[in-house]
Copies of this chain bind each other. A is one copy, B any other.
Amino acid sequence: MSEAMTNLKVRLREVQDLRQAEAILYWDMATYLPSEAGAERGRQMSLLSRLAHEQFTADTTGELLAAAEAAAESPEDQAVVRITRRDFDRASCLPAAFVERATAHYSTLHGRWAKARPTADFAAVADGLARSLDLAREESSYFPGAAHVMDPLIAGSDYGFTAATVRRVFAELRAELTPLVEAVCSQAPADASCLHQHYPRAAQLAFGETVAGAFGYDFGRGRQDLTHHPFMIRLGAHDVRITTRVDENFLAEALFSTWHETGHALYEQGIDPTLDGTPLLDGASSAVHESQSRLWENLVSRSRGFWEWAYPLLQADFPKQLGGVSLDTFYRAINAVERGLIRVEADELTYNLHVMIRFDLECALLEGSLAVRDLPEAWHARYQSDLGLRAPDDRDGVMQDVHWYGGRIGGCFQGYTLGNIMSAQFYQAACAAVPGIPAGISRGEFAPLHTWLREHLYHAGRRRDPLDLLRDATGSDLDHAPYVRYLRDKFTALYGL
């Protein structure tokens, strides 16, 4: 490696370590922080965030990068400077003072939201949200030349997409989903009562972790803890953690949350460890990441084949609750479709409708066609028209998701549905390449799937751009057809359409 490259890497590793240190502080905040330490923890995290930003955008980093660009010869080094340049240019557009101002505001608003949400007190967060909107517009303005105010914000999480492309994809998908939802919801609802029994916490956690381990999650390089909002987080190349929450009176909560986060974690744990210390040690994009959480949560864990293996084990752990429940009944219960108010509780079929509402509202807010004071009512109106429901108040309406209150407005929701679409493309490609995958799953053998995903997807880290990665792995551009086919086949069979 050239000296210029070595010098750049020393700097990049320090930036990475500062960000990982901040991640450790965040993980602790979300799991174990004493109740009165919130303010000081926010301050500590904001310092680390600022130092990482300052170090990364420092003039000396720019000089190190330029020298490394001139010297990079191997494909490995060229990949490092290519992505570092992209991140550097992007980060350098944002003044450090702006980043600090925005971070401090999001942290304050998050605290206010957490307090106001239980009483559905939107008035307590409206001003803060308006300020967040100003900050999002300001952030966008640092990237001149964008066709849409949201484009630079989308590019930060889903490189390769714009507001226009997302809109088109969403419109096409919606046209397929709406009649399918309509058809399923006109049938008698599935009986999910077997899930609503008492399932002791420890046994739920143990079962979830056993399966996560079978998927390939390496507990020597990770762990699971309890939190309010489940997440996956990388604290180091060898420390990729997941969190979950347990409802002792509803079995589906902890299990599918665990396997969703396991999907994210398998991705992170599967990245080529030689990328450690560089910006390449990361997922390709928000959508590609979500494709993996959804693949393991839905295409695997909500499939009938998976439960042919897993259900006898689950019954053995919960004989009193499930001993008399057939596999078919259980399979229908975990795939019950119902129009609901809450995104994170939504079934596979209606989930994307929730995402599309949020994306459209984000766009309207950023474009200025919707004011924050009118947001709660706009939310209700869209839920009425798209899902036929109206939340009794703003707690389960516009205040239900943390995203707009804990960070930027804009660019945070599209990845969920893009990821769903990609999940079916990746799974279809894996099964085409290794036809034994579905049969293996129904015997509890996940290595064939895991191995294919690691080789064609996880290992690359950010070496390939998201849409190139998709094309390389599946031979296709973004295409909702496999996803729609998967949903149609599955729910047609389930509901006897």
Contacts and interface: CB of A to CB of B under 8 A. Distances in A.
A457 B223 CA distance: 41
Given A32-B225, A47-B17, A41 B239 contact: yes
A271 interface: no
Interface string A80-93: 00000000000000
A36 B237 CA distance: 10
Given A41-B236, A51-B51, A221 B20 contact: no
Given A17-B44, A43-B17, A51-B51, A238 B24 contact: no
A236 B47 contact: no
A247 interface: no
Contacts of A25: 21, 24
Contacts of A239: 33-34, 36-37, 40-41
A32 B237 contact: no
A230 interface: no
A35 B218 CA distance: 11
User: A25, A28, A34, A237 — which one has the most chain B CB atoms within 10 A of its CB?
Assistant: A34
A34 B237 contact: no
Nearest to A27: B28
Interface in A226-243: 235-239, 241
Contacts of A34: 219-223, 238-239, 241
Contacts of A24: 24-25, 28, 44
Contacts of A102: none
A238 B40 contact: yes
A18 interface: yes
A243 to B, nearest CB: 12
Contacts of A43: 17
User: A21, A28, A223 — which one has the most chain B CB atoms within 10 A of its CB?
Assistant: A21
Given A21-B48, A24-B25, A37 B225 contact: no
A130 B149 CA distance: 62
Interface string A23-57: 01101100011111101110110011001000000
A43 B237 CA distance: 12
B37 A235 contact: yes
Contacts of A51: 51
A121 interface: no
Given A17-B43, A47-B17, A36 B221 contact: yes
Interface in A209-223: 218-223
A483 to B, nearest CB: 34
A352 B203 CA distance: 47
A14 interface: yes
B220 A35 contact: yes
A10 to B, nearest CB: 11
A239 B42 CA distance: 13
11 contacts: A17-B47, A20-B40, A27-B28, A34-B220, A34-B238, A34-B239, A36-B218, A36-B220, A36-B239, A37-B238, A51-B51
Interface of A: 14, 17-18, 20-21, 24-25, 27-28, 32-37, 39-41, 43-44, 47-48, 51, 218-223, 225, 235-239, 241, 276
Given A17-B47, A36-B239, 5 more contacts: A14-B47, A33-B239, A34-B221, A36-B218, A44-B236
List 7 A-B pairs, minimum CB-CB distance, nearest first. A37-B239, A40-B236, A36-B238, A37-B238, A17-B44, A36-B220, A17-B47
